[in-house]
Structure formats: structure tokens, C-alpha cells
Chain A
Amino acid sequence: GAVVSQHPSWVICKSGTSVKIECRSLDFQATTMFWYRQFPKQSLMLMATSNEGSKATYEQGVEKDKFLINHASLTLSTLTVTSAHPEDSSFYICSARGGGDIDIQYFGAGTRLSVL
């Protein structure tokens, strides 16, 4: 199956700093990438949808100035958590869609963010 790489897998940072998370589709071109957030024992919460070369579409309640998304190419999307605070601590997961006739979302391994 298609492979999506997400980096870093774990990050600890101080409050007020910014953190960048990368999501790459390794063996296919991703027409659309998605960013999710997941709290313990809860399901995935879609934060935003990004298409290559255009602005991301954010879900209601997600601050676009807080969570900056850049989809610079068909294989790379980045999520930057700006001025991170402890309440931003969570599991962030990206997924990429494309490369087949079924719109399967292939997920990265996730990034666990801990803000001190």
C-alpha cells in the first residue's frame, strides 16, 4: 500500500515556541492531505484539508493563524503549531489521499506533541 511519512514522531517543547510537523507521501502524489488531532480514547478530529497549491480549508473552531498549513507540493504538507501552549498537547496525525481509484486515506504514524 501507499506510504505516508510523518516527522517528528514525538516532540516536547516549551510554551510559546512553534513546532513544525511534516507529512510526506513517499510513493504516490497526494492530491489532498488532511490533518487530524486526536485526544486520548477519542476518535479523530479533522482540523483541516489541504490541496496542493491552494489555501487549506479549516474546520469550524480551528484557528488558522494558530495552526498554519502549507501544502507546497504533491508530496509534502506541513503543519506549524504557532506559539504552542499546554492545551495544544495532543496526538496530531496527517493523512494523504490519492494514487488509486478508491479515495483511501493513508495515514502517517502521528506526532505526539507535549507542550510544557
Chain B
Amino acid sequence: GQNIDQPTEMTATEGAIVQINCTYQTSGFNGLFWYQQHAGEAPTFLSYNVLDGLEEKGRFSSFLSRSKGYSYLLLKELQMKDSASYLCAAVDSNYQLIWGAGTKLIIKP
């Protein structure tokens, strides 16, 4: 079956760095998305990786290893507004998104 695993909740301190991991098992693979979702709001697009390696975009970076079925989202210089859920979603062979349950990130002052 298809499966996405990511931690349920993480806590970090303002100004620090946090890494949110995601492992996936899908029938075929056509890339991996990271979305941010604040409570009561819809998800917003953060990143898309289809090739191995690190993609950097400002304070946020996303990494992919296709051979390991693994990705992570790296958030630097954490701000209070980064408190949100972070959703990992893999694209399968039918170009359908397989969603993880999300990681709730709590930022403390």
C-alpha cells in the first residue's frame, strides 16, 4: 500500500533551526510536495522536489533522496509565525497526491 510517515508534533525555539522528516512508500514516484497549513486555513505551497538533493528557498529548504524514500523540510531562523502544520505529499505513478497526516510545529519564545 501507499504510505507517508511524518512526526505528529515537534517543538522548537524562536530563532533556532528545525528539520521535519518525511518518509514515503508509493506505487511509482513523481515528486514530493511540502505545504504549510495554519490552523483553520487552507494549505499553502512551500516546495516541490523531484530530483535528489537540496532546494533552498529563503529560510526554508527541502531535501529529497529518492533511493531512500525520504525527504525533509528545514526551517531556519524560526519565527513565531512559523507555528503551523507542515504537510508532506508524494505524487504517485497516477500523478495523485498521497498526503501525510501533517506535523504540527510549535514555536516557543
Contact = CB atoms under 8 A, between A and B. Distances in A.
A103 B91 contact: yes
Interface residues of A, number: 20
Contacts of B35: 107
A109 interface: yes
Nearest to B6: A43
Given A103-B95, A104-B33, A1 B100 contact: no
Majority secondary structure of chain A interface residues (helix, strand, loop or mixed): loop
B42 A110 contact: yes
A44 interface: yes
B45 A43 contact: no
B99 A44 contact: yes
Given A44-B99, A102-B48, 8 more contacts: A1-B45, A43-B100, A44-B87, A46-B99, A103-B91, A105-B33, A108-B42, A109-B41
